[in-house]
Amino acid sequence: MQIRVVTDQPWDVDTEVLAVPVSTDDEMPEPLAELDRRLGGDLTEYRRVGELNGKAHIAALLRGTEMGAGWVLGMGIGERDKFDRVQAVRLGASIERRLGGRSVSRLAVWLPAQLGSSAGLDTAGLVELVTRGVVEGEHEPAAIYRDSVDSAPPRLDELTLVVTGGDPSVLTAAASRGQTIGAGANRVRGLAQRAANDVSPEVLADEATTLGNECGLDVEIIGPERAAEMGMGMFLAVGKGSDNPPRFIVLRSRAAVAGQKDGKGRLLAFVGKGVTFDSGGISIKGAERMEEMKMDKTGACTVINAIATVARLAPDLPLMAVAPAVENMPGPHSTRPGDVVRGLNGKVVEIQNTDAEGRLILGDALTYAEQQGATHLVDVATLTGAVERAYGKLITGAFGAPQDWYEEVASAGARQGERYWQVPLVDEYRADMDSWYADFNNTGGTEGTLVKSGLFLREFVTRPWAHLDIGGSAYLRKATPWAPRGATGVTHATLVELALSGASSSDGDGSRPS
């Protein structure tokens, strides 16, 4: 898709569809009023009858007259002074999805002056986020296994962002960044939603290898024999019941292989949970919604694609991604409740519940990342059902230590319009995980399970670390105006933003819009 940023008047842009944001505010500022005049007052009339009242994501398609666009799409944004970064991404995605099933190849989006200024969003940041939203809006999960989907959003040949001013080179770079980040999120979503009979640990490793080779990354795949020699007892315990052997996936940029640090003195490591299907093992889950457990690899899909996205934007940036991939199944060789295993860092764990498997593979992966020189770590995992019960589908639960590192991660997410809520690491709960036979258990009773999941992971880190639990936010069970049912790609943009914050100008992406 070709992307242009222009400073023309919106009615002068030659395009098939011109999308314009419409707020619930009573006044109609210029040049929206001029657009309304050219449309014969249709915007005013649609507002009067309630067809286009400005409420968020309520849209109407009008025939363009006296302008370069054949059609005008009015898209509601709610109150103008409440428009923020979250809404900027959703604006782009909602526009694209509203055009689903339509024959459109050229789209323009008008971004009026001051849109988002109340949230501290400048023009470059607005252009990046709206472009990212449009690209993410193209994702159609129904097309993964089908040849065609009649209602799919259109594949655009051209996207034009219409702004009132600014440095064209800066704005074009911001749009290109948004396009690259959005495309990476869509790759996360496509891979995460593929079925378990399609993506085994070995296939996930193959996908990572292909992507790593495309992006100039160093790829290492560790099989079960070598993992056993290294002492990854927790990682190996999870996949023992499956006929599909585990794979421990490691991606490194060439700068990381060379032992370099980024502009902030970091070797940042992304760690992602890659359970390609989670039956619960011997502690088997109930039948309800078990089909969703193909999504338990989303954390791995996220970090694999995040490092690839960063490599496209800043190829010389030191960075590492670690994705332990397993299938958790009951079988004659399955780990049993009460089994005792030793982690890569030497700590001994009693496995009380084989369905608390994600923390086991992440523990060894976090230890491995530190052993390989990582100075700062972020893990992403569909770790608990408790996080969905607490925060629903639109907020990611997060832990971190020390506090300043957590705040840096959360700030990166905020800049990309992704929401986090910090969960406290309450030390007193650690006693509930005590074991008679081991250093601690992998579970600790039914109270405070979300907190205890974070406390377990903390046992395997000694450096600045954040844990992003996407157990609720990784996928939607029903469509929204800005996203289909299925994987959301959440945290991908946060990880990319976090990594790029350590880039210098020589790395290829030292400047970031505010």
Q: Which residues are catalytically annotated?
A: 285, 359
CB burial string 207-228: b at 16+ within 10 A, e below: bbbebbeebebebbbbebeebe
Nearest-Å Rg of the Cα atoms of the chain is 24
32 neighbors 76 (Cβ within 8 angstroms):
no
Cβ-Cβ contacts under 8 Å for 510 (sequence gap 6 or more): 263, 503, 504
Q: How many CB atoms lie under 10 A from the CB of residue 404?
A: 9
Instruction: Please tell me the distance from the alpha carbon of residue 206 to that of residue 221, in angstroms, as a whole number.
Output: 9
With CA atoms as reference, report the closest residue to 407 among 427, 378, 373.
378
Render 164-190 in DSSP notation, one character per residue.
S-S-HHHHHHHHHHHHHHHHHHHHHHH
Structure tokens, 351: 């496995």
Instruction: Please tell me the distance from the alpha carbon of residue 36 to that of residue 149, in angstroms, as a whole number.
Output: 34
**CB under 8 A, 24+ apart: contacts of 87-90:** 87/56, 87/116, 87/417, 88/116, 88/121, 88/125, 88/126, 88/129, 88/130, 88/133, 88/417, 89/129, 89/130, 89/132, 89/133, 89/136, 89/416, 89/417, 89/482, 90/56, 90/57, 90/133, 90/481, 90/482
Q: Which residue type does 39 have?
A: L
Instruction: Please tell me the distance from the alpha carbon of residue 94 to that of residue 98, in angstroms, as a whole number.
Output: 6
Instruction: Please tell me the distance from the alpha carbon of residue 281 to that of residue 396, in angstroms, as a whole number.
Output: 26
Helix (H) or strand (E) holding 5: strand 2-6
Instruction: Please tell me the distance from the alpha carbon of residue 93 to that of residue 331, in angstroms, as a whole number.
Output: 43
Phi–psi pair at 195, nearest 5 degrees: -70, 160
Structure tokens, 514: 């505010």
* DSSP tally for the chain: helices H, then strands E: 15, 20
454 neighbors 423 (Cβ within 8 angstroms):
yes
